[in-house]
Amino acid sequence: MISAELEKAFQQAKHQLEIEGFALTEEDERNMKAVVTGEMSREKLIEQLKNNSH
């Protein structure tokens, strides 16, 4: 579970990305939150993002 403070920071970052023209999928959000909570490494997230871009 993500703390209220981290959730607020995440939502602010998400909105900033949207302002800049990027859209996050539900899977993107789950994966990013998993990194924040330590359930997934940054390296694993980057690897998944690279594999999904093909």
Tens-digit pLDDT profile for residues 17-37: 999 999 889 998 898 889 988
* Inside any domain, residue 12: no
* Inside any domain, residue 11: no
Q: Work out the percent of the chain whose per-residue pLDDT is above 70.
A: 94
* Inside any domain, residue 29: yes
What's the total number of domains in the chain? 1
Range of the domain at 48: 25-54
Q: List helix spans (H) across the chain.
A: 4-19, 26-36, 42-52
* Inside any domain, residue 16: no
Q: What was the pLDDT predicted at 32? A: 86
* Inside any domain, residue 49: yes
Distance CA 17, CA 26 (A): 14
Q: What was the pLDDT predicted at 54? A: 62
Overall pTM > 0.75: no
* Inside any domain, residue 7: no
